Each structure stands twice: as C-alpha cells, then as structure tokens.
Structure 1
Amino acid sequence: MEASLLGLIVVVALALAFDFINGFHDTANAIATSVATKVLTPAQAIAMAAILNVVGALMGTAVAKTISKDIVPQEYATLELVGAALVSAIFWNLFTWWKGLPSSSSHALIFSLVGAGVAAGGWGIIIPKGVEKTITGLLTSPVLGFLVPIVLMFILSWVVLRRMRPRAVTRNFRWLQIFSAAFMAFSHGGNDAQKTMGIITFALAAYYNTTIEIVPLWVILSAAAAMGAGTALGGWRIIKTMGFKVVDLKPVDGFVAETSAALIIETASRLGIPVSTTHTISSSIMGVGTTKGFKKVKWQVAGRIVQAWIFTIPVCIALGWLCFQIAELFN
C-alpha cells in the first residue's frame, strides 16, 4: 500500500474518531435537559438522540462546505495539515470531557485547522471570510441562545401558563419536551456531523490534489454513523454539568431551552454557519434560569463553562500549530 493512501486512511479514521468523540462529548447538548426534568430516562434519551443525530446529519452539507473550502484553501491541503488539526481537536475534546466542561467540539476543530494552516503556510493562507463566519456564529449563537428563551418563556407565560394550574403545566410540557429534545438532537446532528464531513472532504482534496465541490455520499453516511454511535455511548460527566449543575429545570424550562437552541442551530446549518451546539444550549439553559430569577442560576458553574469557551480558540490554534510541527518532524 502506498504511503499517501495509508496516510489518507489514517486521517479518515482520525476524522471519524473525532466525530465519534464529538457524539459522546456533545450528547449532553441534546438530552441533558430532558434527563434532568425526568421526562426521559437516560437510556431513552440517548437512544432517541443517537437516531436523530444520524437523521439530522443526512439533511444537508452547507456547513461541511464551509469547513472544506472556506477556512484553508483546498490547494493548500495536505494530509499532515488535516491530521494535525484532528489530533489537536481530539485532545481538547477529551481533556474538556475529562474535566466535565461543555466546550465546543466545532470550534476546537475549526481553530485547530486554523493553527495547523498557519504552521503550514502562515496567516496569509487563512481565508478571512470563513473565519469571520465562524466567529459570527461563535458570538451570536450564545447571545441568541440566552435571549430567545427569555422571550419565548415570556410569551408562553402570558398566553398559556397563566391560564393553567402548575400540575397541568408539568403534565402537558412533559410531552412537549420529548418533541423539543428530538428537535434538539436532530439539529445537533445536522450541524456537528457536517464538520467531520467537511474535514474528510478537505483530506480527499489533499490526497487527489484537486478541488472537491461536492461532499461524497460515503463521507456523509460514515460521518452520520460515527456521530450516532458516539451519541449512543453518552457523555455522563457533561450531562451532569449541563442538566443538574447550572439551574433547576422543570419540563416547561427544558422545552423552552431546547426549542430555542434547536431553532438557532437549524437556522445556522441552513446558512452554512458552523455554530457551537454546546454554546447555544448552555446559553439557553442560563436564559431560562434567569426567568426564575438571577439567583436561581449557579453562576459559578456557568463561569467555568464560559472559561472553556474562551480558552478553546487560543488553545486549539496553538495545539494545531504544535501538532503540525510535530507531524513535519516525522514527514
């Protein structure tokens, strides 16, 4: 087997490993609130999330094209560059999972790719438009994630909740939260699995030394399957942080947080913007919490989450750069 083909196989395996880890790292995004409110058992929630992650991943490739074409030009693609970005992102994912911090797998991958790209060709090869699109998603998704559930909760309170008894609210929204959790899982698969599709397509461009405009079907199917398998494994450390340590949630709170986050993520996916599902749902949970009063949110835990968000960008740029330098030593 020729060395370049072996290198491609290794890189694709790394990409699918990243996708798998992304699945269990980000399982909490889709199911933490429904587990916390006891609307679904952990087993039920994980099974539903795994299936809908796969379905969502099959629904489009706009985000994948952003990753494969708009961060580093495909003419600069090398297997060493892609491999370095993936090793960096996997390391950061596993570290934050170990610490129980819901960091962004999406931004870990993108800014690891930036770091490896800088190591390969300097800042001049980085495409500003793609990075700006990513940063736009990074900044706007948590802001919208915080504000939209506040507005939605206000509307629900005025139109529906004030006319219902507390027991009826809990009973009705237990059922509605199952649908919102499903929508969240679907939108998570649609945005997050596409990052892996994009990075594999980028690797294929490096191997064939050409520009690839369309994401191959086998790439779409394999990324969807890896995401679903990882989700099925679950990520209990982060589920505990997201579902139980930020704010005490009721079914109506979970419904509002999940619906708000899923709408934001799904809109971003259609626009080709790689947002962080972690940032979005975390902010939505905090937003819902503030409707109960600022003291109801455990801001110390929320602060740890924000710290993970802030550190992801510089750490992953540095890690991507370092991993590429190490790869070059063995080239």
Structure 2
Amino acid sequence: MGNPPELYHRILNIPRETSPQEIRAAYKSLVKKWHPDKHPPSSKNEAEARFKAITEAYEALLDQQENRAVFGVCNDGRAGEKAMACGVVGGGGGAHIARTRSDDFGARMAPGTPAREFKKVYSSGNSGGRRAFAEFSSSIMRKAPPLERKLECTLEELCHGCKKEVKFTRDVVTKNGVAGLITFTGFTILDRSIVKKEVSQMVLVKPGWKKGNKITFEGMGDERPGCLPADAVFVISEKKHPVFKRVGNDLVLKAEVPLVSALTGWSFSFRLLSGKKVSCSFQDEIICPGYEKIIKGEGMPIADQKGARGDLRVKFEIAFPKQLTDEQRDGLAQILKGCAWN
C-alpha cells in the first residue's frame, strides 16, 4: 500500500500505539458511519472515498501488527513454540503467517462489499484505487470553513422546545461540461464549477437550550474543489422578551411599585411563559428598594437535568413621586416621624 503509517492512524482517528482490538473497534465504528448506502446522493461520493480509504488503513495497520508479532515477538530462539503462538505455520524459509483476522470482517460491516474487493481495489497494481486514496488522504487534511448562521428563538420556544425549518444557501460543486473526465473511486467527475443551491433542514430545539448552543449538520456547508464539504452550523440566538429576562437558568421579572403601595400593601399578577397565572401579594410587609422575591422552580428548564428548572426572580423597583406639595411634605413628615427605621 506504500503510504506512511501516520496517515493510516489519522484516517482511523487513533493514536500511534494502538492494539489490534482498538484498530478493529475504530474501523467498525467508521465503516458504519461512512457506508455509502447510508448517505444521500449529495454526499455519496465522499462517503465512498472515505469508506474505501478507511478499509485500506485498517488492512494496512493490521498487516503491520501481524508482521510485528511474527518478526518481533517470535524471533528470540524459541521459533517452534512461539511461531505457533503467533500464528506462523511451517518453519524455515517456508514459514507463513496464519490467518489471524477474518477477511470478511469488512463484508459483515459493509453488506455487499467484501473485503477482498477492497484488496483488489487498493492493490499495488490498481491505479484507480491509489488515485482514490491519494485524493482522500490529501483532502482529509483540508475542510472548507464552516457555514455559520444564526437561529433566532423566542424565550417561549427555548422554554418549551420546538421544531424550526431553516433554509439557507450553500455553494455546491456540480458537473459542468464534458471535458476533462477524471476517474475517482469507480465514478466519473466532469469539469467542476460552483453553483448556489438553496437547501432546508429541520432543527429540533430542545427545552432549556441557551444562546450560543450550536446545531451542526455535517457536510451540509459550502463545497470547494479538493476539499471536504464544510459543515453547516446554526447558533442559537435569543429574541428580546417584553416581560422576562433570562439569566442562566433563571428568569428575571422587574416590577415597578408605587411608593405608597410599597409602604401600605400591594398585589399584582402576571403570566409565566407557560401561560400559568401567578399572583403576588404584599399586605403585611414593606417592599424596600432592591427587594427581590424568588419563586422556586418557575424559571427555564435545565437542558441536561430532566425535570429540573431554574427560579423566577421578581425584582422590585420603587417609583417615588416626582414632586410633592408643602402640605404633603408636612403630612409625610408627621406620619414618618414616629416610624422605626431599623
């Protein structure tokens, strides 16, 4: 196969020192994700190239593990005993490696695509396979910048959760003309140009999501020749609410109280985001400037804690009269003179 091991490790997204079991686990996960049958036509070509390159990396790394087992571990003088343990059949110059992995493992993970076919595609004599891998291995290092868009949500939508259809325009590399045919992993790419394409996606907004939460559609951003398709990223933004302000998982409500009501008693009511009506009454207590009433569990849902909610904080602002007559001043002075101030 002739490619550097570092590239194989990078394709499988595994560290350099990895056991055969870990290699198989990484391979199993990746071929499930990138099997071409699981991808729409728009990303099928990329999936096919990735799928085949992943298989080559898997085959190559396991071959290296087998060679290391035979020529490293078993070459210490006890050739007969350890050769059998390491999977070497025969002796002397005729020894060969016994099969230590299933050649149809890839077939089980990729129905209809036996692993022996990948060997044929990626054999040293197959220029199409080498070309496919070369393009993939060069493009794996490059990805177009993400396409970011804002997704505005009301506090009600972030409180209850919702589904929102988003439409956006992306650059798409398309076939154009008949000149310059290129064979690539079993399909033909014509001369390419970039066109604008409008697409739509359904976004599921979960209860409790906050400003800054991101929803990523992998490979649905702009396309560029020679690069992997960018991701489309939608960033939650929060519309200003006429009544409530969100602070973390809490909701803050500001209530303005006339001075006379703050001193003599006051009642008011409001509706929560859910539509539930809440009443607050202050008959036996004085509302001081900066006073805050906390109503437990009536804030925003907490996204990662099922059933948990923040609090509702009602902050009171005292509305003082802008002017008083002399008679009113004298009356207030007489009334307040005997009040306890502590």
- The TM-score, its normalising length taken from structure 2, stands at 0.22
Specify which structure has the higher proportion of strand.
Answer: 2
Specify which structure has the higher proportion of helix.
Answer: 1
Determine which structure has more spread, i.e. the larger CA radius of gyration. 2
Structure showing greater relative contact order (alpha-carbon pairs closer than 8 Å, 6 or more residues apart): 1
